[in-house]
Structure formats: structure tokens, C-alpha cells
Amino acid sequence: MNYNKKSIEDIEVAGKRVLCRCDFNVPTKNGKITSDKRIVAAMPTIEYLVKKGAKVILCSHMGKPKGEWKPELSLKVVAERISELLGKEVIMAADVAGEDSIAKAAAMKDGDVMLLENTRYIKGEEKNDPELSKALAALADIFVNDAFGTAHRAHSSTAGVADYLPAVSGYLVQKEVSIMGKALANPERPFVAILGGAKVSDKLNVINNLLEKVDTLIIGGGMAYTFLAAQGMTVGKSLVDNEKLDYCKEMLAKAEAKGVKLLLPVDTAVAASFPSPIDAEIPVEYVDCTAIPADQMGLDIGPKAAEEFAAAAH
């Protein structure tokens, strides 16, 4: 399989308006960013585009506003942090692909940087609405995808816009694809893969393909509870994809047949409900995965599971 993809270095960007999809879904608390790792990871691509004289239009989602304009999920704090790291002002658009962003994009000079508002403020984003994709594409001449963490989602700002503009990858996506390609094509042994996230359905082909290549597959996050339920465990109010229980059973059987260690958490953090907002502090308890109370939900792996997973990954 060919993992070589065109990058920002393979296209002329000077004087061009470049729409760059990044992953700025950073954690915040009381209006302050608590970890800027994702912003820092995007800086090499942003800095390259600025240095080459592009008009850089950044876009990203934050949280799950589900089409509503929620002030606590505004990307204004991200624009402020990029300004600090870049050493120059980042223009903040008041909308996603509306009148304000159109006007500000038209007024940009070479080397300017603008950030659009949270793409998920628009209901069509997660539905890959062609009209939103066209509106985003109309802002620019080139599309750069540097949002590795969300590149698998068929949303307007990640996939749809690429139907209307020349598209290349940024440095972060290029780096991750290169590492992933090497690992899958010629992995060092033992080969251990770790999967998380909420939905089994998002990882269907990934799980099946990895079981052909890895020595150990570790599954954590929300998707672990569907696997636990597939083993016959009661998981309380935990997130379970009931339509994928049979698939999980098939993957467990496949792992056993191929001699692959498929590790699931032995203990879990539980609470009455998931924290809202996501970064809110709530009281949790740690229980064995065989003893999740009926009125509680599993949130993520517990300390015993973390210790076991760490040992398996070394």
C-alpha cells in the first residue's frame, strides 16, 4: 500500500488562500486552555505556510456543540494562543463561512492568519453537507488537512471541502501517516496497538485489519464496554453499541484463533453520569469490570487496567 501523500511542500502556496483544517479540540477550564499540545503540534504547518507567504485560514471544531452557538466552545482562546506562539495577531472570524469570514478572507494579506469559528456550530458540518463544504472551499484556493485526529471523519471541513479544492496534507498528518505506514508494512516485534474512543463502529475495519498484523491489541475508552458486554458482562449505564455486539464477539474469536492477545480493562472508573462539560470534575469510584453497578456508567480504564496495559506495551 502506498502511504506517500502530497504535502504542503508539493504545492505552491505563495499568495494563495490556504484553508488548513487543524485539530484544536483542546481541553479548557473556566475559559482557559489546560493543555495546548494539539495547538503546538499544528504550529510547524502554520509557520511554514506563513513563511511561504500564504494567506492562512485555519479551521477546527471544539467539543460537541451539535449545531448550537455555545460561547464556552468558541475558538477565540485558540486564536489567542496561536497568536502567542506565532508572535503575530491571528484574525478571529465571527462565523464559520459566513459574511464576516468572507469579508476578512478577502482583506487578508500574504502571511496573515485567520481562524474560523467552531465548525460544529454549523449543523451541516457533521453531516458533510455539500453546501457547507462549498462555502468553506469558496474562502480559499488550496485545502490542507493537518487534523490527523479527525481525518477519519467524513465531515464538511475534513472531507467534503476536498471535493472542491486541490488538497494536500500538513506536516502532522504526513508524520503520522509515515509512522503508521511503516508500522503496518514492516513492524518491529512485538507489535502492540492501542485503540480507544467511544464507538466500535468507527473502528470496524481498523480492528479487523489490526488483528492480521499485531501481537497484542489493547482496547480502552468507551468502546471497551461494548466488548465487555459482548463477553456477557453487565456494564450498567455504560456506553454500549448494541448493534455491534456480534461483531465484537467475532473479533474476540478471531483474536483467539490467531493467537493475538486482545486485552480489555479489568477495572474501570464509574460515575452516575458523564461529566458535563467534559472537563468538569466529578466524584468517581474504581470497580472491577465484573462489578459495574446498574445505576453507574463506566468512564474509562481504572488503575489496574492502566498498569496491565502499560506492562503489555513494553
Domain boundary among 147, 174, 201: 174
Q: Are residues 281 and 223 in the same domain?
A: yes
The CATH code of the domain that includes 42 is: 3.40.50.1260
Structural domain containing residue 151? 8-174
Give the count of domains, the chain.
Answer: 2
What is the band of 1 on the pLDDT scale with cuts at 50, 70, 90? very low
Average pLDDT over residues 61-88: 96
Residues 257-297: tens digit of each pLDDT: 999 999 999 999 999 887 766 656 788 999 999 999 999 99
Q: Which residue has the cell 459566513?
A: 98
User: Any idea which of 89-103, 231-245, 269-283 has the lowest mean pLDDT?
Assistant: 269-283
Beta strand segments in 146-296, E: 167-169, 192-195, 216-219, 261-263, 267-271, 285-288
Model confidence over 71-82: pLDDT tens digits?
999 999 999 999
Q: Cell match 465571527: residue? A: 94
Q: Does 193 share its domain with 159?
A: no
Distance CA 234, CA 225 (A): 9
The reply to whether 179 falls in a domain is: no
Cell of residue 218, nine digits = 489493547
Residue 156 has pLDDT above 90, yes or no: yes
234 shares its domain with 269: yes
Check whether residue 160 and residue 264 sit in a common domain: no
Residue pair 43/83 in contact (Cβ under 8 Å)? The answer is no
Classify residue 2: in a domain, yes or no: no
Question: CA–CA distance from 129 to each of 73, 119, 135, 257 (Å)?
Answer: 21, 12, 10, 42
Task: Examine residue 190 and say whether the peptide bond preceding it is cis (omega within 30 degrees of 0).
Answer: yes
Give residue 206's pLDDT band: very low, low, confident or very high (50, 70, 90). confident
Reading the block at residue 184, the C-alpha cell is 503496518
Residues 305 and 214 in one domain: yes
Bridge-based pairing of strands 267-271 and 297-301 is antiparallel
